[in-house]
A and B are shown apart, each in its own frame.
Chain A
Amino acid sequence: MAAFGSLSTRLTETLAKLRSKGKLTASDVDGTVREIRRALLDADVALEVVKSFTAAIRERALGAEVSEALNPAQQVVKIVNDELVGILGGETRRLELAKQPPTVIMLAGLQGAGKTTLAGKLAKHLAGQGHTPLLVASDLQRPNAVTQLQVVGGQAGVPVFAPEPGNGVGDPVRVARDGVAEARRRQHDVVIVDTAGRLGVDAEMMQQAASIRKAVQPDEVLFVIDAMIGQDAVATARAFQEGVDFTGVVLTKLDGDARGGAALSIRGVTGKPILFASTGEGLDDFEAFHPDRMASRILDLGDILTLIEQAQKAFDEDEAMRLAEAMATDQFTLEDFLKQMQQLRKAGNFKQMLGMLPGAKGMREAIDGFDEKELVRTEAIIQSMTPQERKQSKILNGSRRLRIARGAGVTVTDVNQLVARFEQAAKMMKTVAKGGVPQMPGMGPMPGMRPKKQQKPQGKQQRRSGNPAKRSAEPAPQLQQGGVFGQPQQQGGAFGDLSGDDQAALQRMLGNR
């Protein structure tokens, strides 16, 4: 869709200005929803479906599911994707086979949707599963459709019941009925009835399809539709629903570059599940329908969705909340300490990140002395402890410490230092959590900082940007608080007036011995 500029590009442009805002406002949502609406229309999703869909999105986006990890644009996109997958895949199901064979499957659809080819694919697919399908040539309308089905059947290695030559000669209803009888006699367990393509507006042909349906009482009526269809998908789907009342949908020609909004339109209007997707001209190019792939195809949002996934992986919201809570309620344990550490490592190169903070000049020495391997060592030590030891560091006696040291491949001194560091850190955390402000050497009080009382976790806090250039442009304090400690509630905490002891403790906690 290069000609139109993908939704990703447009969304990125529209939403660049939203980056700095913390919360989703009505106008943010409106802007994003407008772009999404356009993208859906470009993907040929039917207007009425787009309308109800965007209305639902808007409501959900405003309904405050504010995420820590995502910026507003990403959040809206995520909601959209979730909803799309939900609608497309709500009730994905397989073919329903009759308890009393033969199972009768009838195919219906517009001309050129790919019914006859699909009949061959379906037959081959079923034959591969050990069924013995019979193809029935009830398309007596299109020139040589019968011949085509015979050829396709031959390729699939499946017998074809074709008593009439076609080309307008013969009664398709009788052929269908005889076909099912034939299958019963020859003990085929599945019958696939290919019918003539018809326009949704052609009453006569639709009547014929309804008659076939009545005559053979199919277990499944599959509506075959071209993924490239435009706004007409809805009218067509409705006409077929009323005319033959299909039980499932097959989307064909998905190997092209159509975004396939029809899938969403049909699901949205008829509620009928999409069973299969046809993805090529070979008889094996046939697969079960994947709602998630379809969703990102419709929106054309692959890269943004990947980003969202990454952002969420890197920052586990719930974990941070839990930590913050633990600190506030005075239950900071070695386990929490470990988790904090792990989150730090997930966040990437800690040293590099520190170096990018504006105003970190004074910390140069501290930074240079910081050894990232220390994090690994600390992790190893804590992981060598029993769960009980992690929760109650007080029970760590000499013999336990020796065991831990051996387990982690370090000396008892290292273990001792860690425990001391942890205890001091825990003390400091408490100070901070209670509203005290620890001091960082070499850094004056930061602009715009005010000591804050203990607060509820903030709704939305700026996360570390993935882009170093942007990262350095971001205000330092938030970064330190969010990135280093993973405590969302300490927005205001600078290291203003901490006692000398605490300063040392903080430094030690950072591994600078």
Chain B
Amino acid sequence: MAAKWSLTGALRGMFTRETITEETWDDLEAALITADFGPDITEQLVDALRADVERLGVDDPQDLRRMLRERLEERFAAYDPTLSLQERPAVILVVGVNGVGKTTTIGKLARFLVRNGQSVVVGAADTFRAAAVEQLATWAQRAGSAIVRPEREGQDPASVAYQTVEAAKAHQHSMCIIDTAGRLHTKGGLMDELGKIKRVIEKQSPVAEVLLVLDATTGQNGVNQAMAFIEHAGITGLVVTKLDGSAKGGFILAVQERTGIPIKLIGQGEGIDDLTGFTAHVFVQQLVG
């Protein structure tokens, strides 16, 4: 059984050395790259830290750890991670590539909102993947939310979304979360479909949040995904899932910085209560230790 890799673990050895040496920098670079920060951000961070260390005359690795934490925190905290759900009903559209955990995230988010006294309806607009509707129904049941199913197989997802918002209004649900089929961001036709879903929803109610779900094990391709989804669906927030699998997810910093879209939620386990809001301080603390 391979031990779980973590940035904390990788950095531990480095921070226990007596002084900062060339090896420290190599280790730092390797650790950051292995955490999926990507070569560009890694280089920036290492260069910036090197400059700081030189300028301040630091040679205690513990200080370096603190400086790394500060640098990362500063960069992660540059955007506002608050979900804006003031509309009634607040419509949340959830999008992403295949297999990142959209449906699971919706289940968890619904549960979170229900526990905070909201009445929630979820819309199963993933009419493409086999058994996606049933999967969402199971989650809805666990979360204690209502669900709007497609009336027939292969129904236009936009019409399911429309009906969901309609139901939310009719039954006075305060929150309305719409699941969509996973789609690779390179499929033009499927991406256009997202635009249509959004337009159709907006005929009834403004869309409060469009959340892009990203798998924490994704590599540098995450940036491409985000760019494509911004263009077609106008995403307003990022959700990072499966953070329990790899204590990594460094690429989300690149995604956040390149797109200017804040990380809003993170999923850290398979349990229904394992979804939390994003706090730069906590996140970095967990990452760096």
Hey, which bits of chain A sit against chain B, CB under 8 A? 1, 3-4, 38, 41-44, 46-47, 110-114, 116, 142-145, 147-152, 155, 167, 199-201, 203, 206, 226, 228-233, 235-236, 238-239, 242-243, 253, 255-259, 261-262, 281
Contacts and interface: CB of A to CB of B under 8 A. Distances in A.
Nearest to B241: A112
B99 interface: yes
15 contacts: A1-B224, A42-B39, A46-B34, A112-B101, A147-B131, A155-B130, A167-B138, A201-B2, A201-B244, A228-B97, A230-B220, A235-B4, A255-B187, A257-B224, A258-B219
B30 A231 contact: no
Given A152-B130, A200-B245, A235 B2 contact: yes
Contacts of A206: 1
B175 interface: no
A256 B30 contact: no
B131 A232 contact: no
Given A231-B33, A255-B184, A259-B221, A151 B99 contact: no
B97 A144 contact: no
Contact of A256 (B38, B97, B246): B97
Contact of A144 (B128, B131, B221): B131
A112 B97 CA distance: 10
Contact of B245 (A4, A110, A231, A256): A110
B251 interface: yes
A230 B131 CA distance: 28
B155 interface: no
B163 interface: no
A489 to B, nearest CB: 44
Nearest to A225: B217
B258 interface: yes
B176 interface: no
Contacts of B35: 231
Interface in B1-44: 1-5, 30, 33-36, 38-40
B97 A242 contact: no
Given A42-B39, A230-B248, A238-B2, A256 B186 contact: yes
A468 B36 CA distance: 44
Nearest to B185: A256
Given A114-B98, A230-B219, A262-B219, 19 more contacts: A44-B220, A145-B135, A149-B130, A201-B2, A226-B215, A228-B215, A228-B219, A228-B222, A229-B218, A229-B219, A230-B251, A231-B34, A231-B35, A232-B5, A239-B2, A242-B1, A256-B185, A256-B225, A257-B186
Contacts of B130: 116, 147-152, 155
A286 to B, nearest CB: 15
- The B interface, classified by DSSP as helix, strand, loop or mixed, is loop
A230 B217 contact: yes
Contact of A235 (B5, B219, B221, B251): B5
Interface string B225-237: 1010000000000
Given A113-B99, A143-B139, A232 B248 contact: yes
Contact of B40 (A4, A44, A142, A281): A4
Contacts, number: 149
A159 B185 CA distance: 33
B160 interface: no
A443 to B, nearest CB: 52
A137 to B, nearest CB: 11
A4 B227 CA distance: 13
A234 to B, nearest CB: 9
Contacts of A259: 220-221
Nearest to A235: B5
A299 to B, nearest CB: 14
Contacts of A232: 5, 36, 217, 245-246, 248
B99 A112 contact: yes
A18 B134 CA distance: 61
B2 A261 contact: no
A426 B224 CA distance: 62
A9 to B, nearest CB: 15
Contacts of A149: 130
Nearest to A142: B135
Given A229-B218, A231-B248, A239 B1 contact: yes
Contacts of B33: 41, 47, 231
A41 B227 contact: no
Nearest to B30: A47
B131 A151 contact: yes
A142 B184 CA distance: 22
B211 interface: no
A377 to B, nearest CB: 53
Nearest to A240: B2
B131 A110 contact: no
A239 B1 CA distance: 6
Given A226-B99, A229-B218, A253-B97, A111 B242 contact: yes
A42 B245 CA distance: 21
A418 B138 CA distance: 88
A94 B19 CA distance: 53
A4 B219 CA distance: 14
B221 A203 contact: no
B49 to A, nearest CB: 19
Contacts of A239: 1-2
A143 B184 contact: no
A221 B219 CA distance: 25
A148 B103 CA distance: 14
A255 B4 contact: no
Most buried by B among A116, A199, A236, A238: A199
A288 B32 CA distance: 34
Contacts of B5: 232, 235
B64 interface: no
B134 A111 contact: no
A203 B134 contact: no
A41 B99 contact: no
Contacts of B215: 112, 226, 228
Contact of A148 (B40, B129, B187): B129
Contact of A253 (B39, B184, B242): B184
A258 B218 CA distance: 10
Given A3-B224, A111-B99, A242-B2, A228 B131 contact: no
